[in-house]
Structure 1
């Protein structure tokens, strides 16, 4: 997909800089409660897919909210492409794409109308907007369904359109929260192939999933979180060798335990 370079022309944005560096992130939601984050460090290099893994309540959602500039931490620093993203979030947001776990589509609008709306929110218009919408539809194999209402789509098609909505403006860094949840095998395979194509184009991604096989296939590095901190961080193969585990699922359970995390 064609990447956006509008923000790169502004001061303090350096597309050759490290895409994301978060240092010492600390956050809590109420006085006296256990902190949601207790000093998290995250680094994502250009074209990397970094997996953020952890059980319910580990702090993943808080971490992503902070790194995507939707939430300010109590402590810590965040630099995105060389820019202080906590001080100037509006400067870096055009470079970011967010693909949420919940389907963020308007069911009464067509696929094209949905993408046109989301592209317009990013300041696109005219021929550039139309070109990017066409490109985003083709990218997820939905061009033949552009005039269908999103509410008539199957679950897999909605997931693919949800991905297109997060990519339509050409972001350089994409946050993906369980982008294959509830889809059929064919749609899951297509989504993962498309993410690898983005990686080949130099797009950096932070990938949250509970499917360890996906993380092992896609991610250059993984961060396993529990109780607000990273309990392991590194390339999947290196972590498996270090801990003597056969696969990422075994490692995950060894580090976070087998007890259920309800709520």
Structure 2
């Protein structure tokens, strides 16, 4: 056979050119397959080391493949254990209730992407929050769900802490507002009491000064009349100032209508 091959190559130079091209093409295909294999290995290594869960499943909820992060979220040791769990049945037990996975109805309506936050109860009584983002793809002409699962527990805890802080601040504002209203009421009562107590002797001073002027004007010289008139006018002025102070204490600011604000939007 070797002799025949040598005879084929030697006696047919144009066939030798074809053989060289064929060998070169085969070597290039082998190199391309090796490059693809290296890229696949790198991609697989990247997926396995991600902190984000990645999985593929059928539309019926049966797991096809996943990375280690997703297995950790399911609290299973390997892919075989995970495949024993129907994801659609598992999702029906989560919160909020429903079917987070893409349904056949949604697919028939042309929906190819879906994202939803899900709370997963843990064995220790705590809860873990995840963001499930799904994409509809095809594999051998069959619909499959490729999904990314991100652990957003820390974000949810931060949102809860911020919400509680907001509620605490609103409660403190209400308490301080009530205290301020009480203080204003006390100040108004004090101002009214003080003004009333001050106006009584002022009215007496004004009245007696007027009586002296009316009854004893002829017995007083010009200086005495001037002094009494100045006393009377000063008492009138002081009474006017006290009345203005009382009126000012009764002035109420325009009504304030507080509105609630969502501080979470500042962090989005």
Relative contact order: is structure 1 or structure 2 higher (C-alpha 8 Å, sep ≥ 6)? 1
Shorter chain as denominator, the TM-score bin is under 0.3
Higher percent of residues as strand? 1
With normalisation by structure 1, the TM-score equals 0.24
With normalisation by structure 2, the TM-score equals 0.23
